[in-house]
Amino acid sequence: MMVSAMSELLLCAGADGVSPGHRGRCPARSPLCVAFVALIAFSSTGVTSGAADAAASDADQKASAPASVEKTAVRPSSPLEVAVETLDGERLTGRPVSLDGKQLVLAGRDGAERKVPVTSLLEVRPVAGQRESEAKSGTVRLYLIDGSVVLCDQFRIEGPRASGRTAGGDTFTLDRQFVHSVLLTEKTDGVADAWQKIRGGQHESDVLVLRKPGNLLDTIEGVVGDIGEEQIQFLLDDSEVPVKRERVFGIVFVRRSRPQTRPAVCLLELRDGQRWNAANVRLDGPMLRATLSAGIEVGAPLNRIGRMDFSLGKVAYLSRLDPIEATFEPFFSGDTISAELFQYRRDRNFQNQPLLLNDREYGRGLCIHSRTRLRYRLNGLYRRFKTLAGIDPTLPNPQLGHVVLTIRGDGKTLFSEPIAGSDPPRVVDVPVEGVRELEILVDFGENMSVCDHLILADARLIR
C-alpha cells in the first residue's frame, strides 16, 4: 500500500569509454604504422572522461601474521597526537613513542605510557586539527601488484629491473614484474576515470596510454621495453619503435605470472592519495617507515598519514562482504515504494549521509530497515561479531523508531533484543566461533515500521 511509504517519508524524511583505439593490429612491419606510432598521431576514437571508475589494484591484501622488524624504539620529536582503536573496541589517545612489529607505545598527556600489541590494533589515525607538514610532490604515480600506490619523482626500467626515487626521497630497485602500471604525469583532470578503467581492463599485451585533445585517452598494445628519462622502447608488430616519454600518459603492464609478495599487516592511507600495503611498519622519530609487500622501503612524516589500518587479516567488515541472502519485506504487502527505497545500505544511511551514532561518524557499517534479513557465510573463520546498534539520530523523529534485532548463528539465536530510538545506542558483542552461517534479522517493533532506520556501526567479524 502507498500509505506506509508516504507516512515513512512524512515522519522520517527517509529517502532522498574505453575504445581499444589502435591495438597494433595493422600489417606487420608496416612503415606507415611505425611512423604513426613514432609521431604519436593516433586517429582512433579515445576514451571519454565519463568512463566508470574501476579500482582493480585497490583490493586489500589480507595478512596472516605480522612480520618481525627492528625492535629499537626512538622517541619522536613531534608532539603529534593519534587516536587508536583496538580490536576490543577500546579507544585511546596519546603521543606515539614507538612502533615496531610487536607493539605501539603511547604516551598520555599525563606522561604515562601505554603499550598496545600490534596484534590488538585495529586503526591508528592522527587527531583532527593538528598541523600537517608540507607534502612533497611526485610527477610519477607507481601502482604495484600488492595494491600499493607510490608517488615518485624518478622512475625508469632497464631490462628486468625497475628503479626510482619516491617523493619522500627513498631510492628503490625491484623486479619489474612487481609493477602493475605507472602514470607518468600529474595532469589527470578530466581523464582520471578513463585511466582507472584502462588500468582495470583485461589486456593481452602491455598498453601505452596516450592523451589526446578533448579529454580523450588512446591506447596501443605491444611490448614495453626499457623506460628512460626521455624515451620508451616499444615493440609493435616485431618492430622496435622509440617513443618520447613526454608523449606517454601512462603504461599498463601485462604479466604472464604473478611474483610472490609478503603478507601485509597494515594499510597506510596518506593524505596525498598514496596507499601503502605494508609488510611491516615502524616509527623513526617523526617519520613513519614501511616496507611494502612488494619489497620496497618508503617513508613519510607521521602527520602526513591519514589512517593506519591494521585490520588486514584480523577483521572483516560486513559492509565489505556480500550476503548470500538479502531480503526486505515492507510492513504492508504490496508496498512497492518502500521495497524500492529501503533496501539495506552500506556505509551510508538512507539519506546517503555518513553513519552517525553517539555524535560520531562511522566510515563503515550498515543501515537496515525493518523487516530485513541478511545472511552471511562465515565458514567458521571468526570468533566474535561486534557492532554498535542504534536508530539513526539524524531523522526528524528518531524516537519513533523501534525494531527487534535478532542475530543467529547456524539457526541458533545468539542475540535478540529491541532497539529503540528513545534509548542510547548499545554495543552488541556475540560469540560466533565455529559458526558457518550468520543471520541478521531486523524485525518490526512497536510502531509498525515508522522511522525503523537501524544503524549497525562498525559491524565487524573478528578472527
Q: What is the pLDDT of residues 432-442, one digit of tens each?
A: 999 999 999 99
Domain assignments of the chain as residue spans, ordered by start: 31-58+135-252, 82-132+262-309, 315-462
The set of residues, in sequence order, having a beta carbon less than 8 Å from that of 251 and lying 6+ positions away, is: 181, 182, 184, 206, 207, 208, 209, 224, 227, 232
pLDDT for 54 beyond 70: no
pLDDT value, residue 31: 43
pLDDT value, residue 363: 87
State the pLDDT confidence band at 134, using cuts at 50, 70 and 90. Answer: low
State the pLDDT confidence band at 116, using cuts at 50, 70 and 90. Answer: very high
All three cell numbers of 54 = 574501476
> Rounded to whole angstroms, how far apart are CA atoms 185 and 50?
20
pLDDT value, residue 237: 87
Q: What is the pLDDT of residues 410-432, one digit of tens each?
A: 999 999 999 999 999 999 999 99
Mean pLDDT of 385-402: 95
pLDDT for 136 beyond 80: no
pLDDT for 70 beyond 60: no
pLDDT for 55 beyond 70: no
Q: What is the pLDDT of residues 140-157, one digit of tens each?
A: 999 999 999 999 999 999
State the pLDDT confidence band at 196, using cuts at 50, 70 and 90. Answer: very high
> Rounded to whole angstroms, how far apart are CA atoms 276 and 270?
8
Torsion of CA 429, 434, 437, 438, to 10 degrees: 0
pLDDT for 348 beyond 90: yes
Mean pLDDT of 103-128: 90
Please state, rounded to an integer, the average pLDDT across all residues of the chain.
83
Closest CA relative to residue 150, chosen from 42, 255, 290: 290
Alpha carbon 15 to its chain centroid, in Å, reads 27
Could you tell me which residue, 273 or 21, shows the higher pLDDT?
273
Q: What is the pLDDT of residues 284-329, one digit of tens each?
A: 988 999 999 999 999 999 989 999 999 888 889 999 999 999 999 9
pLDDT for 43 beyond 60: no
pLDDT for 84 beyond 60: yes
pLDDT for 40 beyond 60: no
Per DSSP, the chain holds a count of helices (H) and strands (E) of 4, 33
pLDDT for 11 beyond 90: no
pLDDT value, residue 26: 42
> Rounded to whole angstroms, how far apart are CA atoms 319 and 322?
8
All three cell numbers of 218 = 588512446
Pick the CATH number of 315-462 from 2.60.120.1060, 2.40.110.10, 2.60.40.1180, 3.30.830.10: 2.60.120.1060
pLDDT value, residue 350: 95
